[in-house]
Structure 1
Amino acid sequence: MLQIKVAIELASLKARGGSPQLSFAQALHTAARLGAEAVEIDGRNEVSVADLSRTGVRQVRKMLEDLNLRVSALSFRTRRGYADVNELDRRIDATKRALQLAYELGTNVVVNHIGRIPTEEDANGLSTLRTALADIGREGHRVGALLAAETGTESGADLLKLIDSLPPGSLGVDFNPANLITHGFDPREAAQKLGAHVLHVHATDGTRDVAAGRGIEVPLGRGSAEFPEILGALEEHQYRGYLTIRRTESSNPLEEIAAAVKYLRAL
């Protein structure tokens, strides 16, 4: 049976509707109080990949240890993907620094959107993406952390095709069911395709609004993400990572995240 290890994305704990925002320390305490075993940290807005000193790393680790928390992943979401040549070298270098920081904080996963995968007809774009990811992958092996591509904009089959075209172990997967659903893909099918490469799972849910012709994120357990089946597919590939609760749009995030923790514990 898959061991359920629950984490919470700290950014999801931020209050909505004009209420005061939680500080980093307050968010850590809240995550611990809600029953999380780990947290996902934002490497752009909560800690600085570019500026966090060794002393700063030690301080963050001490805060985590005092609350008996670990880091499930470091998110480092760039504005553009790795097929976009605009400032690409700068983006690659920043991602490499994120990999180093992730390892120093105690995780081996950095989450980012890699951007849309170019079609075979766009040979230059596809080559640019592959070269960038292979470069990042080599650095990941050197420092002890890997980039995990967040699912959503492509089917599981298309993302798997890209992974298989790279040197082994260059790129992992951050499995986000809500992203897949809102883009019209089946998360269960994607889990079966990508299971061997999943490094991190976002516990999210979504549904398709047929009338509006679009997908929407909903509280965990209220959409069409069949988590027992998804987790069953991941168990076949011995997934041992965290299920990190993420809720990007909510007027009452604390209540919804508390309910999500209970939902996952009951699986």
Structure 2
Amino acid sequence: MSRIALIAGEGRLAPAIAEALGQPLVYALDHLCPEVAAKPFRLERLVPFLDELTEQGVDQVVFAGAIRRPRIEPDLFDPRTMAIVPKILMGMQSGDDAALRAVLDVFEEAGIRIRSVDEILPELVPGEGVLTGEPSPRDQKDAARAAEIVAGLGPLDIGQGAVVVQGLCLAVEALPGTQAMLAFAGLHAGLKPDPSGARGVLYKAPKPGQDRRIDLPTIGPDTVRQAAEAGLGGIAWQAGSVILLDREAAIASAKEAGLFLWARG
């Protein structure tokens, strides 16, 4: 019997996927606090965990939610997982995308197919169009500049977002995440050349060549609130490639804050 398991991260995405799947088996790394009931597992015992999935009849998994890097405890490795440690550690030292690819490879070598979030809930990934507000020509230029920056960061495997204000890059996303990037941008909002000019744009997109089955960029009502607190004029993202959680709430929050939301082609 074919079964699917959810590997849950933090945030609202995992509960949404769990609801869409009905009653999947749900697991989470034991250092995380997902918003859905989950059985914990440790990366140091990854191979026994894969054995458990196989015993449960699982041949598909979907990863959903934010995953923070675990603290590795060398004494907890079992012998079979120890054999694949060099591959995983090499990925972790290269960047988030490389680390995730290494883990996906291990799952697939165990005969488990990785399904993507947008395969299960395609409505979470908006196609091209403006959802609310109207980006000005200046906003459009800022979004284009931010898109160039995010694409340029891709080969370095650093992050999936940037904040551009009046043509100037105010912040880029790194390991601390989107919230930290927006907080930094808010602290330095006074650097924009024209105080009465364009307020700036948050732009998000996957890294070029990123495996879309895991870690697609995600925005939602919290992102809207944080962008408003940073004094920005709107949020743009690569159409068909970014998860929008709680769409109606995000649009309502953007309208209230006077921000545009734009799935950019």
- What's the TM-score bracket when you normalise by the shorter of the two chains? 0.3 to 0.5
Q: TM-score, normalised by structure 2?
A: 0.35
Higher RCO (CA-CA < 8 Å; seq separation 6+): 1
Q: TM-score, normalised by structure 1?
A: 0.35
Larger Rg: 2
